[in-house]
A and B are shown apart, each in its own frame.
Chain A
Amino acid sequence: MNMEQTKSVPQMMEGAELILKVLEDQGVEVIFGYPGGAVLPIYDALFRNNSIRHILVRHEQAAVHAAEGYARSTGKVGVVLVTSGPGATNAVTGLTDAMMDSVPIVCLTGQVPSHLIGTDAFQEADTSGITRPCTKHNYLCKSSASLQANVEEAFHVARSGRPGPVVIDLPKDVQLLDAPFVEGGVLNANKQRYQPRIKPAAEQVKKAVKLMKKAKQPIIYGGGGLVNSGPEASEKLRELVALTGWPSTLTLMGLGALSADDPHFLGMLGMHGTYEANMAMHQCDFMLNIGARFDDRVTGRLNAFSPSSVKVHADIDPSSIGKVVQVDVGIIGDAGAVLDALLAELKKESFAPNAKALSGWWKQINEWRARDCLKFVQSGQVIKPQNAVKRLYELSRERDIYITTEVGQHQMWAAQYFGFHQPNRWMTSGGLGTMGYGLPSAVGTQIAHPEATVIDISGEASFLMNMQELSTIAQYRLPVKVFILNNEWMGMVRQWQELNHGSRYSESYSASLPDFVKLAETFGMKGLRASNIDQLDDVITAMLDSDGPVIADICIEKEENCFPMIPSGAAHNEMILSAADEASNPVSDEGKLLV
């Protein structure tokens, strides 16, 4: 490795101890992990260590999701420690999730001792081989001499550029043998071999601003890159929106970068985004994409995607630019740095929006808005899921709140009906769509923010996928709230079966559910249930007022579908807004092919 070493006399210490020292130097306060034979030396070093806290989860997948919740809600690197073989393979779903959603994670995995690698030893797995495609980078650290450099570089890679998960596979002998440790670190920050571009090229920014000046029907389309960049990026985005007066939309991963209350905010876009956001994307003549990646949940049918717009795309990952949508100007850089540069150039050019054109554009948008695509009718006693989320939002507005979700209809209702006002408040599995993400993610979020209200908006099926973490919640007395929108269906699957498969509900019924109230009680938590609309507010209030963990079982309308929706294979301007629309817009054969 071509790295500049600083000149300081190395001190010899046990590998496991060295690893913890480097973690301390990197500012690590907490590790999410699960022990096993191949990591016992590190667990032994942890036993002696007073500054790093270890949170014992109940499954290695949950360790990674917890670290993701910690990372996404703080902007810091989340750290995971698991054993070899099954410990490492259990972590793979979490690593893939972090890869897809660009979450900075360092995952230490134990490995059988070097001399046994390749012999099918007990609990041996080819961890570096298995995790190569689902990590940003990985190491099989076979030499004590490079241990410190490997761990330091892992943190640099995880957090720099487009963040992502990094695995360090550590044979047990390397953990036990003495290794050289250099106080203050061995990798000079400027000489790291991994040096992603952060600052945008001035000429690209100039080109973008030139196009911005010509825009008549513009839209700002922001994504998770805004959140990953840090809270300053959201500040800058707000400044840009105020300066331009332009309509703006955010992806699922970007929610909170603008305040939900901002009148310029059209809501989330994409498959279950708002009518106004999708129509504006379709008809705009200028699109400024900051830190989003034209994901297929967002674009709908590609050959009909925003057909008449000039497009500028800013992304920290050069390979995101031009990947699925060809753009007129690509800007490589960190979202915050790009916004900084754009604002400076706009001010220099005394930018003023085209007021006349813009007011016409807003008039059109307000007509779309007037369709009120998120309206629902709460009639009768059965709780509408939309109403449950809306009331949860309204009753928790004064609180310091963090929301995590599982995957399914409840996740989309949470995105649609819960308003986010700041970045880092919304933890959801976007790219991979991992059921079981929300509960462990809430654990990590609550560890990072012990005083805050952390709520997992959950579905009954997803909840069962990682519910062993109730035990973690109980052990650490984490006041996590689980808000289950219980429809007794894998609702999102049922909805697709209704739309695409003639209502043949194959294996999508949630049978043999536990009694969630009693389940809560066996873990020493409070269990609550709302069976009808009259109980909803009381249950939410009791849940929020409780200073311990709560499971709230919200029995909702069982066959409610999630609208609006761009059916698969359809375009932004072919949304269905309600169940009534559904019948008149059968899904195309090409659409049925898509996921």
Chain B
Amino acid sequence: MLDTSVSERHTLSILVDNEPGVLARVVGLFSGRGYNIESLTVSEVDEARHQSRISVVTSGTPIVIEQIKKLLARLVPVHSVQDLTIGPAHVERELALVKTMNTGNKRVEALRVADSFRARTLDSTLNSFVFEVTGNSSKVTAFIELMSSLGDVEVARTGVCGMTRGNKIDMS
């Protein structure tokens, strides 16, 4: 099909059996067919049922996004695939740890920026801080950009995790 439509960014929330190979199966589906993974988070969320939730941010044309969801859903250990982006309203959060290196005015400015982003200070030395910042991806990105302009930074980001608002629960 000549798919000329534009690429969209979608956040998918996938509930899977936490068994060996399940992450490789999900990731392999994307890499094997040339789809994008912009971010990925995964952790066990239900110990008793051995289930994990994988949150994937991907981008593609509407047809590709549709295909990704159907291909995920047909995997044996996948219980549910939610597209948070098209579903009812949802919340998304990402956490980043940002180490900044600076002294003097720039160090003071870094603290001020951290304060306005409600970032927490996890560690400090005479010429460095480690901040923890949480928010949607654009807030986290903005924080990192500001910090970068104030000195060298090292960044670790979790990637997005999300869920729908409201009183429905996604379980298998």
The answer to whether A binds B is: yes
The stretch among B13-21, B107-115, B140-148 that forms the contact with chain A is B13-21
A213 at the interface (CB under 8 A from B): no
A318 in contact with B20 given A193-B79, A325-B1 (CB within 8 Å): no
Contact across chains for A157 and B28 when beta carbons are under 8 A apart: no
Q: What is the distance, in angstroms, from B132's C-beta to the closest C-beta of chain A?
A: 35
A128 in contact with B67 given A302-B2, A318-B73 (CB within 8 Å): no
Interface size class of A (residues with CB under 8 A): 20 to 34
A319 to B71 CA separation, bound complex (whole angstroms): 6
Residues in A92-136 with C-beta less than 8 Å from chain B: 128-129, 132-133, 136
Contact across chains for B50 and A129 when beta carbons are under 8 A apart: no
B6 at the interface (CB under 8 A from A): no
Contact across chains for A319 and B25 when beta carbons are under 8 A apart: no
Nearest residue, chain A, Cβ from B68: A319
- Picked from A193, A303, A324, the residue with its CB within 8 Å of the CB of B76 is A193
Residues in B104-129 with C-beta less than 8 Å from chain A: none
A9 at the interface (CB under 8 A from B): no
A2 in contact with B172 given A132-B24, A140-B20, A323-B67 (CB within 8 Å): yes
A136 to B77 CA separation, bound complex (whole angstroms): 11
A91 to B1 CA separation, bound complex (whole angstroms): 33
B66 at the interface (CB under 8 A from A): yes
Contact across chains for A322 and B63 when beta carbons are under 8 A apart: yes
A129 in contact with B24 given A194-B76, A319-B67, A323-B67 (CB within 8 Å): yes
Contact across chains for B21 and A132 when beta carbons are under 8 A apart: yes
B165 at the interface (CB under 8 A from A): no
A133 in contact with B76 given A302-B1, A302-B2 (CB within 8 Å): no
A137 in contact with B24 given A303-B2, A318-B70, A322-B66 (CB within 8 Å): no
Contact across chains for B76 and A317 when beta carbons are under 8 A apart: no
Residues in B57-100 with C-beta less than 8 Å from chain A: 63, 66-67, 70-71, 73-77, 79
A1 at the interface (CB under 8 A from B): yes
Residues in A157-202 with C-beta less than 8 Å from chain B: 157, 161, 193-194, 196
Residues of the B chain whose Cβ atoms lie less than 8 Å from the Cβ of A302: 1-2
B34 at the interface (CB under 8 A from A): no
A343 to B60 CA separation, bound complex (whole angstroms): 38
Contact across chains for A133 and B28 when beta carbons are under 8 A apart: yes
A522 at the interface (CB under 8 A from B): no
Residues of the A chain whose Cβ atoms lie less than 8 Å from the Cβ of B77: 193
Mark contacts of A296-336 with chain B using CB atoms, 8 A cut-off: 1 yes-contact digit, 0 otherwise: 00000011000000000000011101111110000000000
Contact across chains for A128 and B73 when beta carbons are under 8 A apart: no
Contact across chains for B67 and A1 when beta carbons are under 8 A apart: no
B166 at the interface (CB under 8 A from A): no
A128 to B25 CA separation, bound complex (whole angstroms): 10
Interface size class of B (residues with CB under 8 A): 20 to 34
Residues of the A chain whose Cβ atoms lie less than 8 Å from the Cβ of B71: 319
Contact across chains for A2 and B2 when beta carbons are under 8 A apart: no
Q: What is the distance, in angstroms, from B26's C-beta to the closest C-beta of chain A?
A: 11
Nearest residue, chain A, Cβ from B76: A137
Residues of the B chain whose Cβ atoms lie less than 8 Å from the Cβ of A318: 70, 73-74
Contact across chains for B49 and A2 when beta carbons are under 8 A apart: yes
Contact across chains for A326 and B1 when beta carbons are under 8 A apart: yes
A157 in contact with B2 given A1-B50, A133-B32, A322-B66 (CB within 8 Å): no
Q: What is the distance, in angstroms, from B71's C-beta to the closest C-beta of chain A?
A: 5
A157 in contact with B24 given A324-B1, A325-B1 (CB within 8 Å): no
Contact across chains for B70 and A319 when beta carbons are under 8 A apart: yes
Contact across chains for A1 and B76 when beta carbons are under 8 A apart: no
Mark contacts of B1-40 with chain A using CB atoms, 8 A cut-off: 1 yes-contact digit, 0 otherwise: 1100000000000000101110011001000100000000
Q: What is the distance, in angstroms, from B16's C-beta to the closest C-beta of chain A?
A: 11
Residues in A1-44 with C-beta less than 8 Å from chain B: 1-2
- Picked from B1, B17, B25, B28, the residue with its CB within 8 Å of the CB of A193 is B17
- Picked from B1, B25, B74, the residue with its CB within 8 Å of the CB of A317 is B74
Q: What is the distance, in angstroms, from A591's C-beta to the closest C-beta of chain B?
A: 16
Contact across chains for B28 and A132 when beta carbons are under 8 A apart: yes
Nearest residue, chain A, Cβ from B20: A140
Counting chain A CB atoms within 10 Å of each CB, which of B2, B50, B74 scores highest?
A: B74
Residues of the B chain whose Cβ atoms lie less than 8 Å from the Cβ of A129: 24
Residues of the A chain whose Cβ atoms lie less than 8 Å from the Cβ of B50: 1-2
Q: What is the distance, in angstroms, from A195's C-beta to the closest C-beta of chain B?
A: 10
Contact across chains for B25 and A132 when beta carbons are under 8 A apart: yes
- Picked from A128, A194, A321, the residue with its CB within 8 Å of the CB of B21 is A128
Residues in A377-411 with C-beta less than 8 Å from chain B: none
A12 to B25 CA separation, bound complex (whole angstroms): 33
Contact across chains for A1 and B19 when beta carbons are under 8 A apart: yes
Residues in A506-558 with C-beta less than 8 Å from chain B: none
Q: What is the distance, in angstroms, from B35's C-beta to the closest C-beta of chain A?
A: 13
Q: What is the distance, in angstroms, from A161's C-beta to the closest C-beta of chain B?
A: 8
A153 to B76 CA separation, bound complex (whole angstroms): 10
A203 to B130 CA separation, bound complex (whole angstroms): 57
Nearest residue, chain A, Cβ from B48: A2
Nearest residue, chain A, Cβ from B29: A133
Nearest residue, chain B, Cβ from A192: B76
Residues of the B chain whose Cβ atoms lie less than 8 Å from the Cβ of A193: 17, 76-77, 79, 172
Interface residues of B (CB under 8 A from A): 1-2, 17, 19-21, 24-25, 28, 32, 49-51, 63, 66-67, 70-71, 73-77, 79, 172
Q: What are 19 residue pairs bridging A and B, where the CB atoms are less than 8 Å apart in the complex?
A: A1-B17, A2-B17, A2-B172, A132-B28, A133-B28, A136-B76, A137-B75, A138-B21, A153-B76, A161-B74, A193-B17, A193-B77, A302-B2, A318-B70, A319-B73, A319-B74, A322-B66, A322-B67, A324-B1
Given contacts A317-B74, A322-B67, 8 further A-B contacts (CB under 8 A): A1-B50, A137-B76, A138-B21, A193-B17, A193-B76, A319-B71, A322-B66, A325-B1
